[in-house]
Amino acid sequence: MAKIQKGSKQADPKFHIVIQNDGPLMVYGKPALVQKFIVPNERGEMWWLQDGLSFEMKTEPVALCRCGESKKKPYCDSAHLHADWDPRLTASESGLLEGAEVYDGPELSLTDNQKFCAFARFCDAGLRVWNEVGESDNPAHKDMTIREANHCIAGRLSAWENSTGEPHEPELEPELGLVEDHKIHASAGLFVSGGIPFARQDGFTYEIRNRVSLCRCGQSSNKPYCDGTHASFRWNDGLGGAPTGKKW
């Protein structure tokens, strides 16, 4: 039985992902596959995740590139057979909260597991989330803490209500997001939202979470998760597109 992080719920069983040992992500259930652009506000702070192009999920399953070298991105074209990458799934099997740091505030607490950082930088707005939580008896700072934690596409951050011990977690539909980060001229990870489970070929299912970011550049040292390495070498998926759809 797979672990489910508190505050998350598993998607309809038809949605699931199997990670090939040395190949692509095999996606079942045909969830929506949409570009998600990290968009700054007028102050230059990372603020919105906005939709761009949508991609078809014609077959069952759909093979999505994991090595970063496919010429048919986001789909796999077997480039992984010759690509210079390490496909090994090296991430811990532990849950997100195991090893997370806790930042206590007057009304909220913040959990933070840096191992899962995907470098989306929503946490840097305002006073930065680690300082905002310390002012959470102020409604504006409390709202900002929740907003910044909930926009962490890797799920690294969670805001918790001290009075109930429950997390503040956004309602997200099962969906796959091809993240684009034009601010740093790079493409980022695959945002897996809404509790879609993903498993290794040996059957082990990673902790099911509402917000997860998986590596699609092929270079993360914490596979299957994104660790922000795409930013260091400005990986580009070449999909084009622009942020023209709904914002979150």
- Same domain, yes or no: 79 and 185: yes
- Same domain, yes or no: 84 and 183: yes
CB–CB of 193/213 below 8 Å? no
pLDDT of 24 over the 90 cut: yes
- Same domain, yes or no: 149 and 86: no
- Same domain, yes or no: 191 and 161: no
Rounded to an integer, the average pLDDT of 203-227 is 98
Q: What percent of the chain has pLDDT over 70?
A: 100
- Same domain, yes or no: 83 and 189: yes
pLDDT of amino acid 1: 80
Assess if residue 4 is contained within a domain: no
- Same domain, yes or no: 83 and 181: yes
Assess if residue 247 is contained within a domain: no
- Same domain, yes or no: 149 and 187: no
Q: What percent of the chain has pLDDT over 90?
A: 99
Residue 9 to residues 13, 193, 219: CA-CA distances in angstroms? 11, 11, 29
Domain count, the chain: 2
What is the maximal distance between C-alpha atoms in the chain?
Answer: 55
- Same domain, yes or no: 220 and 192: yes
pTM of the full structure: 0.97
Distance CA 156, CA 104 (A): 16
Task: Name the average pLDDT for the chain.
Answer: 97
- Same domain, yes or no: 66 and 177: yes
- pLDDT by residue (tens digit) across 228-245? 999 999 999 999 999 999
Assess if residue 160 is contained within a domain: yes
Assess if residue 240 is contained within a domain: no
**pLDDT band at residue 48 under the 50/70/90 scheme:** very high
Assess if residue 68 is contained within a domain: yes
pLDDT of amino acid 100: 97
CB–CB of 160/106 below 8 Å? no
Contacts 24+ apart (CB under 8 A), 59-64: 60/28, 60/29, 60/30, 61/18, 61/26, 61/27, 61/28, 62/26, 62/27, 62/30, 62/33, 63/23, 63/24, 63/25, 63/26, 63/27, 64/24, 64/25, 64/27, 64/33, 64/176, 64/190, 64/216
Task: State the DSSP code for 169.
Answer: -
Rounded to an integer, the average pLDDT of 37-55 is 97
CB–CB of 187/178 below 8 Å? yes
- Same domain, yes or no: 175 and 161: no
- Same domain, yes or no: 164 and 181: no
- Same domain, yes or no: 85 and 183: yes
Distance CA 115, CA 108 (A): 22
Per the structure, the complete domain to which residue 152 belongs is given by 101-113+120-168
Assess if residue 126 is contained within a domain: yes
Assess if residue 129 is contained within a domain: yes
Distance CA 175, CA 36 (A): 11
Distance CA 149, CA 136 (A): 13
- pLDDT by residue (tens digit) across 67-108? 999 999 999 999 999 999 999 999 999 999 998 999 999 999
Distance CA 10, CA 6 (A): 11
Q: How far apart are the first and last CA of the chain?
A: 32
Assess if residue 162 is contained within a domain: yes
